[in-house]
Structure 1
Amino acid sequence: MMLNPADINTDTLPYRLPSPVLEGVMTSLEAVETVLSGRAAELGVEIRRGIRATALQQDDRTVTVQAGEDTYQATWLVGCDGGRSTVRGLAGFEFVGTEPQFTGYTMLSAVAEPNPLEPGFTLTPTGMYLTMPTPGHIGMMDFDGGAFDRTRRPSVAHLQSVLRRVSGTDVTLDDVQLVSTFTDRARQTTSYRQGRVLLAGDAAHIHSPLGAQGLNTGIGDAVNLGWKLAATVRGHAHTGLMETYTSERHPVGARTLQWTRAQTAAMKPDPHAQALQALIRDLLETRDGTTYVHNRTSGSSTRYDLGSSHPLVGRNAPDFCFHDRTRLSDLLHDGRGVVLDFSTGRQLHGATDGRADLIRYKAGPVINDLGLGALLIRPDGVIAWADDYDPDRNALQQAATRWFGPDH
């Protein structure tokens, strides 16, 4: 069910500003990993691949991981090791949710001519298949209750049988090069922290790839956790900062799981789901329906409850651009918080200036200040405090103390 961009009501996002960053882009996990690995190398991070954890112990000060004959010890451990997370199992996280309705397949395969498959997404009485513009990329969903044994590689004969059943054609596969399988099993840990062990990404939540929410949700976990963990390790964090990781990110993960469950329910090949599909299509023909779905899938509607009634607090900050062409995104590259003062700068100057270890200060007019007076922005780009008119220095100080400790 495709959205019409012209039907998106941008007035529901009054604090949106133009940005050089693309709103959405098709990419691959390989490309993302290449960029992140390169950045890690620039920062001096050593990545050791192919090492499997076999045991884990923790006390009130350290975590010890056994990996074969090697032992690693640290003050914190973060499991980002995927949906079948070893760290999650060794640390004893509770992982709860729902069982799958389908088995999904993606493959790179030639199709013998004549090719009977339709381009794009095609819902059928027995499932769904997808053919991508890139030749040979095929996806399909078989509502078998997740019965296929995903520990083994599917044979060409099995793939062809499933595709014929799902598509209702006599399609013939030729030269299958790559194949992977997935399900819509939806599970989430009840907490993202157990003592000194934390989870992020698929290790903390799994769901179907419908709607392409998984990568964004996982990176959101990492960005939220990264600065809080750094502040804690360096001794800057206030009491309770680490607890905000679960309280902020767990609801986001739960919302994503519910969204993908709803998509699965609407795609099942039965009369009830088809009735639901018809209702959803009607809603998507309205401006409100399209806008709602766009805001959910783009992340625009994500907001953390930070205890403020201001409509911007808890949301990602707009990418403000100063007249010297500096952008807010430039100021966030070093992982510090940022105070933006759009007033004269005299009221707030000194509230955080000179504390450059955790908070950067930037004053001056911007091309569009959206009617705001001043903002406190966390290192993850989330607005922690905002004032529309004459900035209240005391309120800013309280917000800075909450997120960055009493010395700021």
Structure 2
Amino acid sequence: MTTIDYDVVVAGAGPVGLFLGCELALGGARVLVVERLTEVDETIKAGAINIPSAVALYRRGLLPELEAVWEAALDRIRAFRGEDFESELAPKFSGHFAGITMTQDLFDGSDPAWAEVGPAGDTGLLVPQATLERILARRAGELGVEVRRGVALTGFDADADGVAVHIGDATVRAGWLVGCDGGRSTVRKLAGFDFPGTDPEITGYQAIVELTGAERLHEGWNTTDTGTYVHGPFPGRILSVEFDGPPADRSAPVTAEELQASLRRVSGVPEVTITKVLSATRFTDNARQATEYRRGRVLLAGDAAHVHSPFGGQGLNLGLGDAMNLGWKLAAVVRGTAPVCLLDTYTAERHPIGAWVLDWTRAQIAVMRPDRHARALRRVVTDLALTTTGTTYLVTKISGIWQRYDLPGDHPLTGASAPDLVLADASRLGGHLHHGRALLLDLADDPGLRAHAEGYGDRLEVRTLACPDRPGLRALLVRPDGFVAWAADAADAADADDKGLPEALERWLGVPAAGA
């Protein structure tokens, strides 16, 4: 038995666990990530990220790699759809709602929020989960995160001072344990988190295959009398959904015969034949969410905290948002610059978004059912979706651009993801967040305002730069995760006390150093 000290042990080296490890390391924590698999899981899973995820990765300097992945994805889709497919792309690459796809010409992007997303909003969001995992693993290595593969977490003992985590033949002592170990999370079960929700009613398959006789399969999402199937958007990718209850054994290998039978039943194309399975997975619409994301020294993120069907591509994105929200807060607690109560804001901010995602996926199941009542409802929803108002609403929700937190303060930007302002030196706000620290942006060159930042040291970066495009905005306090904690307009300059700024600084960054 060996004992090694870490600030945080993260169970699970999927994208959520790796991203959390990166965020903790940026905040100065000593991190160990443990993973039972020896290599990146190449099984086909999530294939896209939404705007909050793209913005989060952009704010950490990873946008160039995302752009390269997007270009590779375009090449694969061109091989399947032809050179003109890009004119048919859904607005903002939003995907679908219950298999109902939106059209570009009905999308109204006049909301200023779209313009202020920055370059991440213009980047293609088709990023396979395995590719993202490799990007984050490389980044974790650069930041000094230790990742141990091929070892499983078998148990832990938590007390008031920390957690003894049992992994393989070793026991590791850490201050905190975070379960990012998936929907069947060992950490969640052992810690005793409540996990209520709704039971599954579907069996779904997603796969990359080699097949023949596919000439009669329609491209894209298709609803039939027996279920739903998808063909594309790149060669060999199929998906089928049947409303015949959950599978008897989700963990059993997915065979070509099983996939073929489901695809034939749903599509009504008896001649389609699967000759080889390259990658395949089953899924259901089991929808559950932990009632809290923290119990003492143990926390949950990603699928360990919430599970749901994959429709709308929300799962990976929800987990990345958890990691971005939790990482800097837990690192601050570890460093002693913030009180433990800061962690209470993690559940308070992320749980409502998780609950929304679960209901969003449940609504899609209701519209996809093959019974007559659901099909009547589907026709109504389709009519609504294919209007400018309906398309814009669905795109806004699916994209995630609507997401914000309920934070103290009256300014319209408070609680929102920070606009990617173009500053006077041609830099962008997002480029000032690569280091993972909070940012006080003084747009009016006000020494009095900057004086409030004294004593925060490396917890806070202060920048004095004008923003020609937003002359009415005086200052922003941006949290490490990129959300606005405090804002003031130029019209507020007469308020010499910078109302709310000292309180916001202390709430999110702790008290300044003595003597400041």
Asked if TM exceeds 0.5, the reply is yes
Deviations 1:100-123 (A, max 9, x none): 121110112122136321111111
What is the identity, as a one-letter code, of the residue corresponding to 1:110?
A: E
Q: Which has the higher contact order (CA 8 A, sep 6+)?
A: 2
Corresponding residue SS for 2:196: strand
What is the deviation of 1:18?
5.6
Contact 1:319 1:328 in 2 (8 A): yes
Partner of 2:125: 25
Determine the C-alpha separation between the residues in 2 that align with 1:13 and 1:257: 28
Query: Higher mean Cα deviation, 183-192 or 274-283?
Result: 274-283
Structure 1, unpaired ranges of 5+? none
Distance 1:178 1:18, change over 3 A: closer
Question: What's the secondary structure of 2:277's corresponding residue?
Answer: strand
CA distance in 1, matches of 2:248, 2:377: 27
Letter in 1 for 2:256: V
Matches within 5 A, 1:100-249: 100-113=200-213, 115-170=215-270, 171-238=272-339, 240-249=341-350
- Deviation string for 1:257-303 (max 9, x for gaps)? 00000011101111111112111112222322222211211111111
Partners of 1:400 and 1:187 lie apart in 2 by 35
Residues 176-229 of structure 1: per-residue CA shift (max 9 Å, x gap): 222111111101111000110000001100111100011111000000000000
CA distance in 2, matches of 1:160, 1:89: 35
Deviation at 1:46, TM superposition (A): 1.1
Q: Bigger CA drift: 42-51 or 360-369?
A: 360-369
8 Å Cα contact 1:110/1:175 also seen in 2: yes
Selected match of 1:302 from 392, 403, 426: 403
Tell me what 1:271 maps to. 372
Is the 8 Å Cα contact of residues 105 and 180 (structure 1) preserved in structure 2? yes
The answer to whether 1:323 aligns with 2:424 is: yes
CA drift at 1:334: 1.0
Tell me, yes or no, if the aligned pair for 2:454 and 2:512 is still in contact at 8 Å.
no
Question: Could you tell me how far apart the structure 1 residues matched to 2:386 and 2:206 are?
Answer: 30
**1 CA distance for matches of 2:143 and 2:254?**
41
Partner amino acid for 2:163?
Answer: V
Q: 2:504 aligns with which of 387, 399, 407?
A: 399
Per the TM alignment, residue 386 of structure 1 is displaced from its structure 2 partner at its CA by 1.2
Does the residue aligned with 2:156 lie in a helix, a strand or coil? strand
Look up the SS of the partner of 2:208 in the other structure: strand
> What amino acid sits opposite 1:165 in the alignment?
R
- Residue 250 of structure 1 aligns with which residue? 351
Q: Identify the range of structure 1 (73-82 vs 382-391) with the bigger mean alpha-carbon deviation.
A: 382-391
CA apart distance, 1:406? 2.1
2-structure distance, mates of 1:214, 1:156: 26
AA in 1 matched with 2:102:
L
Alpha-carbon distance in 1 for matches of 2:427, 2:380: 46
Aligned length: 408
- Please tell me whether the aligned partners of residues 474 and 489 of structure 2 are also in contact (alpha carbons under 8 angstroms): yes
Match of 1:96 in 2: 196
Give me the whole-angstrom Cα distance separating, in 2, the residues matched to 1:114 and 1:247.
48
Match of 2:187 in 1: 87
In the aligned structure 2, how far is the partner of 1:10 from the partner of 1:255?
23
Which region of structure 1 is more displaced relative to structure 2, 387-396 or 157-166? 387-396
CA distance in 2 between counterparts of 1:13 and 1:322 reads 17
Work out which of the residue numbers 101, 121, 124 in structure 2 matches 1:2.
Answer: 101
SS in 1 for 2:361: helix
AA aligned to 1:374 is A
The 8 Å contact of residues 423 and 465 in structure 2, kept in 1 or not, is answered as: yes
Structure 2, gaps ≥5 residues long: 1-99
d(CA) in 2 for partners of 1:10, 1:162: 39
Is the deviation greater in 342-351 or in 309-318? 342-351
Q: Which structure is higher in helix share? A: 2
**Matches of 2:214 and 2:343, distance apart in 1:** 58
Q: Deviations over 1:149-168 (max 9, x none)?
A: 21211332222111111111
Structure 2 CA distance for partners of 1:232 and 1:380, relative to 1, 3 Å: same
Which residue type is aligned with residue 299 of structure 2?
Answer: L
1:381 corresponds to: 482
Contact 1:337 1:360 in 2 (8 A): yes
Instruction: Return closer, same or farther for 1:239/1:85 CA change in 2, 3 Å cut-off.
Output: closer
- In the other structure, the counterpart of 2:135 is 35
1:67 corresponding residue in structure 2: 167
In 2: Cα distance, 1:112 partner to 1:349 partner: 67
Deviation per CA, 1:361-394, whole angstroms, max 9, x where unpaired? 1112124227321111100000011112234524
Q: State TM-score, norm by structure 2.
A: 0.76
CA distance in 1, matches of 2:255, 2:275: 12
* Paired residue type of 1:189: A
Q: Is the 8 A contact 1:316 1:382 kept in 2?
A: yes
Q: Distance in 2 between matches of 1:395 and 1:136?
A: 56
> RMSD over aligned Cα, in angstroms?
1.7
Partner residue of 1:293? Answer: 394
Aligned residue identity for 2:473: L
SS in structure 1 at match of 2:462: strand
Given that 1:56 and 1:66 are in contact with CA atoms closer than 8 Å, whether structure 2 keeps it comes out as yes
**What is the aligned counterpart of 1:52 among 135, 147, 152?**
152
Return the alpha-carbon distance in structure 2 between the equivalents of residues 42 and 155 of structure 1: 39
In structure 2, relative to structure 1, the CA distance for the partners of 1:194 and 1:239 (3 Å cut) is: closer
Instruction: Specify whether residues 292 and 156 from structure 1 end up closer, same or farther in structure 2 by C-alpha distance, changes over 3 A only.
Output: same
Change in 2 beyond 3 A, CA 1:299/1:263: same
Cα distance in 1 for partners of 2:223, 2:504 equals 50
